[in-house]
Structure 1
Amino acid sequence: MEARLKEIADRHGEVERLMSQPETASNPNAIRKLGQEYSQLQHVVELWNEVTTAQSDLEGAQEMLAEEDDPEVLEMANMEVEELKEKLDKLFADIKIELLPKDETEHADAVVEIRAGAGGDEAGLFAAEIFRMYQRYAESRKWKMKVLSQNDTGVGGLKEVTVEIEGERAYQRLHLESGVHRVQRVPETESQGRIHTSTATVAVMPKAEELDLVINDNDLKIDVFHSGGAGGQNVNKVATAIRITHLPTGLVVQCQNERSQLQNKLQGMEILRSRLWDMELRKRQEEESATRKAQVGTGDRSEKIRTYNFPQSRITDHRIGYTSHQMQSVMGGEIDGFIDALLQEEQARKLAAVGD
């Protein structure tokens, strides 16, 4: 570990030097990438500095134990030794996590697609609630959310919505939300008080930067059509909605939220790049692990990852057995408990794999 940490310290100094070079300062993309790397390396260097200080303090406390006879001083020295050992254990655990291989999506923003599943109007209402849950969560973390595409049910629900979430480690924190979310409750229209089960699907993808993925124009079929829904003369006279088909994969993206063809095309291409990058990442995951379906965070769209039981005010994540009885708080965006538990499980699995 010390050899690896020495490499990191050397690279930390090199990145610091590169960031000060005039040719780097004039390249925004290079500055962004070096800044992200520097931030990550800085955290490891700071942790190692804390380890060095704690080890020095521990040696001092142990020397005091060997030399002192005063019972009161010995008791204080013993307490300090135990506290420092616990601190060192925690620091080394944090360093091990920081030394885990980083993937290319670590600093990516997120593109989130939410769709109503089984359950008719009730599924649409639940999809709208899931959307508001993530909207409030994004607000609580000071992330920016932009709606790229939205299709309403007409009764207060959502058929589907696609949003971009921009913020520090947005994709990293949200990627384990992918899957089928299930709700159990009595719909307002249910006169006999029977509990209905409905679903909404969530897909969380890393936002692909222009440099991450090159799409050949010859692989695209672009159709222009009139926007649906309410609108004025512009909607009736000018076709602004865009449908983009990626011929090699058959992926279809449709955008009609903006007022111009160009704006809708740009947003459509953003969604398409994210979907293609997501497909590539999943392909790699499948190739790397034969047991992918048993792992936390597979994102398999057929999995029921979480159930929201309203009559019992209980939300359960089935992948790790994590349960909360704070329904109102969770639906209000307080989902850090679920996200932190899932990320800890993911980190533990990665650490175990490194140990193996």
Structure 2
Amino acid sequence: MLDRIAETQRRYDDLSVQLADPNIHADPKRLREISREHSRLSQIVEAAGRLSRAEAELAGAREMLDDAGGDPELTAMAKDEAERLTADVARLEDELKRLLIPRDPLDDRDAVVEVRAGTGGDEAALFAGDLFRMYQRFADRRGWKVEVVSVSEGTAGGYKEAVFVVRGENAYGDLRYESGVHRVQRVPATETQGRIHTSAATVAVLPEAEEVDVQINPNELKIDVYRSSGPGGQSVNTTDSAVRITHLPTGLVVTCQDEKSQHKNKDKAMGVLRSRLLDIRIAEQEAERARDRKAQVGTGDRSAKIRTYNFPQSRVTDHRIGFTTHALQQVIDGSLDELIENLKLASQAERAA
């Protein structure tokens, strides 16, 4: 571990020098990459510093215990201090070990999130709408920005599908654990006899792809433009601003009509298409690795039921890690921090093993 800490310190110092170079600031993309890595490594450097100080204090407390000379009051005080610092050192060592686990380089990316209604008809669309708002509120809490790409409204409210991009520090790294089937158990507003129904929605979280990640042949694209049919101001139904892109080799279809500009809609749709193609490649690599280990967290298996929201019992259960909270309303209102933190810890333990 000491070698890893020393290596991290050297890299951190090198990045600090680069950030002071005015030439780096002339290249926004390079500056963003360096700043992200510098910020990530600073957590390790700071944790190593805290551990070093705690170890020094523990050594001092043990020395005081040895020098107590049988004085009961001094011995008791030194013993209590040594016990407290021993626990601190163990906790800081665990924290540092987790931070030193190699991170997925994609964690720093922005996230493309796709929420779709599953089984359950109108109630599934309403639940998909609840999930969409849950992620919007979570993003607001984190200070992230949400850009809507496309929405398809349900007949009784909610959404059949909502696609949006979440931009912010570590957006994909935190939201990636949301991929999978989300199940809801509640009495629908349309239910006259008070029976509990079970419905579902699927969530897909993809790392936003950059052009260097995925090369797309323009000849393999079919691009259609049409008039927007949803929100969009005065241009709705008056200009062909909406864009539909079909990737012929894979059959992937992406639509975008959120912007009034056809050019902006095309750029957004191309961004989502690149992310879906990158996600296919990642899934293939993950399937290859999964043959050698039985991973439960972070694999992005979209067919797996990952979480149940039980309204009658005000309970949310994440089935991958057996975590349950009875703060259902807070979760629906965007308080996902406790869930995501426990999922991240489980994923780190899995990778460490």
Q: With the length of structure 2 as denominator, give the TM-score of the two structures.
A: 0.94
The answer as to 2:53 corresponding to 1:53 is: yes
Per the alignment, residue 40 of structure 1 pairs with 40
Per the alignment, residue 95 of structure 1 pairs with 96
Task: Measure how far apart 1:236 and its partner are.
Answer: 4.1
AA of the residue aligned to 1:323: T
Per the alignment, residue 269 of structure 1 pairs with 270
User: Do 1:117 and 1:199's aligned partners in 2 also have CA atoms closer than 8 Å?
Assistant: yes
Distance in structure 2 (CA, Å) of the matches to 1:39 and 1:230:
38
Distance in structure 2 (CA, Å) of the matches to 1:58 and 1:236:
72
AA of the residue aligned to 1:56: A
- Give the direction of change, closer, same or farther, for the CA distance of 1:233–1:124 in structure 2 (3 Å limit): same
Per the alignment, residue 80 of structure 2 pairs with 79
Distance in structure 1 (CA, Å) of the matches to 2:121 and 2:203:
17
Distance in structure 2 (CA, Å) of the matches to 1:254 and 1:206:
18
AA of the residue aligned to 1:83: R
Distance in structure 2 (CA, Å) of the matches to 1:251 and 1:8:
41
Per the alignment, residue 66 of structure 2 pairs with 66
Distance in structure 2 (CA, Å) of the matches to 1:265 and 1:154:
27
Distance in structure 1 (CA, Å) of the matches to 2:122 and 2:236:
27
Per the alignment, residue 178 of structure 1 pairs with 179
Task: Measure how far apart 1:192 and its partner are.
Answer: 2.3
Per the alignment, residue 312 of structure 2 pairs with 311
Per the alignment, residue 205 of structure 2 pairs with 204
Distance in structure 2 (CA, Å) of the matches to 1:59 and 1:127:
56
- Give the direction of change, closer, same or farther, for the CA distance of 1:71–1:301 in structure 2 (3 Å limit): same
Distance in structure 2 (CA, Å) of the matches to 1:230 and 1:46:
47
Task: Measure how far apart 1:312 and its partner are.
Answer: 2.1
Identity among equivalent positions (%) equals 51
User: Do 2:180 and 2:300's aligned partners in 1 also have CA atoms closer than 8 Å?
Assistant: yes
SS at match of 1:105: helix
Distance in structure 1 (CA, Å) of the matches to 2:33 and 2:102:
17
User: Do 1:293 and 1:300's aligned partners in 2 also have CA atoms closer than 8 Å?
Assistant: no
User: Do 2:110 and 2:168's aligned partners in 1 also have CA atoms closer than 8 Å?
Assistant: yes
SS at match of 1:305: strand
Which sections of structure 1, spanning at least 5 residues, go unmatched? Answer: none
Distance in structure 2 (CA, Å) of the matches to 1:92 and 1:98:
10
SS at match of 1:200: strand
Which sections of structure 2, spanning at least 5 residues, go unmatched? Answer: none
Deviations 1:309-352 (A, max 9, x none): 22222221111111122222221112222111111111111111
SS at match of 1:106: helix
Q: With the length of structure 1 as denominator, give the TM-score of the two structures.
A: 0.93
Deviations 1:38-80 (A, max 9, x none): 1122222222222222222222111111111211111111111
- Give the direction of change, closer, same or farther, for the CA distance of 1:286–1:76 in structure 2 (3 Å limit): same
Task: Measure how far apart 1:89 and its partner are.
Answer: 1.1
Distance in structure 2 (CA, Å) of the matches to 1:289 and 1:342:
18
Aligned length: 352
Distance in structure 2 (CA, Å) of the matches to 1:227 and 1:30:
37
SS at match of 2:214: coil
Per the alignment, residue 3 of structure 2 pairs with 3
AA of the residue aligned to 2:158: G
Q: Give structure 1 regions of 4+ aligned residues with deviation exceeding 6 angstroms.
A: 230-233
- Give the direction of change, closer, same or farther, for the CA distance of 1:25–1:331 in structure 2 (3 Å limit): closer
